Amino acid sequence: MSSIDTAALLRPQALPEARYANLLPLRVRGLELSCGGTPILTGLNLDLSPHGCTAIMGPNGAGKSLLLKVLHGLLTPTAGEVCWGSQPPAAVTARQALVFQKPVLLRRSVAANIDFVLKARGKPRQARDALLDRVGLLHKARAPARRLSGGEAQRLALARALATDPEVLFLDEATASLDPSSVQVIETIVQDACARGIRVICVTHDSGQARRIADDVVFLHGGRVAEHSPADRFFSAPQSPAARAYLDGRLVL
């Protein structure tokens, strides 16, 4: 059963104007994606407004991370249409940033990891210290990035993503396996990014996190969007049986 309240999602919200209106809204129609001949996403439709933070939830294997990679232009769908404004994902990848579940850090110092991105994007190196300060890693600027703890590494990955000055920020289970304080720090940074007009789309299994940071929730099941509702409605009165089962902690097949 599909219950997508698009009208509610596109209603004006008490959020600042998106800085980059030309990239949004996102429109996905009939998206299909197969991996090794196995269909993962089947006829997925989705509309995202230009504002706020969207959480993508669903059971393991629902295709959440793959959907994120399709939206970011890292994977080419088997069929269907994905449009950021009027452009395909591959044309706007450079205007977006993705934080992976397992941060991939360069074999360099913390500062050099940020410098690398700033240089690649032709941005002044002076921005580095402010970014490191924002994620609480300025005191570790000279430390080898691969010596950081899990939480620190993910904060560095987030700082590196923000160094690209993205219009859209994707988070693929960025806080999975982190301790509560690290989760809180990352959530604060994400909320801050969102408040500054960066469109945030995150994959998470953490219902508490989705409640805290998401404005709307996209629930994937069976390769489709089973439900897309404002976050408060999704958690208080989920419409689809699959979402209800998922939130009740029952096995969703």
Which residues sit at the interface with other proteins, rule CB under 8 A?
A: 72, 74, 93-94, 96-98, 100, 104, 106-108, 116-117, 120, 144-147, 164
d(CA 219, CA 207): 12
Q: In the complex, what is the shortest distance from the CB of residue 66 to other proteins, in angstroms, rounded to a whole number?
A: 12
Q: In the complex, what is the shortest distance from the CB of residue 211 to other proteins, in angstroms, rounded to a whole number?
A: 28
Looking at residue 229, its amino acid is S
Candidates 172, 36, 39, 30; CA nearest to 96 is 172
- Which residue number, 164 or 229, has a Cβ lying nearer to other proteins? 164
- Which residue number, 114 or 217, has a Cβ lying nearer to other proteins? 114
- Helix, strand, coil percent content, the chain, rounded in steps of 5: 40, 25, 35
Helix (H), strand (E) at residue 235: helix 231-236
How many CB atoms are located within 10 Å of the residue 126 CB? 8
- Which residue number, 168 or 226, has a Cβ lying nearer to other proteins? 168
- Which residue number, 186 or 226, has a Cβ lying nearer to other proteins? 186
The DSSP annotation for 40-57 comes to: EEEEEEEEE-SSSEEEEE
Q: In the complex, what is the shortest distance from the CB of residue 107 to other proteins, in angstroms, rounded to a whole number?
A: 4
- Which residue number, 100 or 235, has a Cβ lying nearer to other proteins? 100
Burial (CB count <10 Å: 0-12, 13-18, 19+), residue 128: buried
Q: In the complex, what is the shortest distance from the CB of residue 98 to other proteins, in angstroms, rounded to a whole number?
A: 5
Q: In the complex, what is the shortest distance from the CB of residue 70 to other proteins, in angstroms, rounded to a whole number?
A: 13
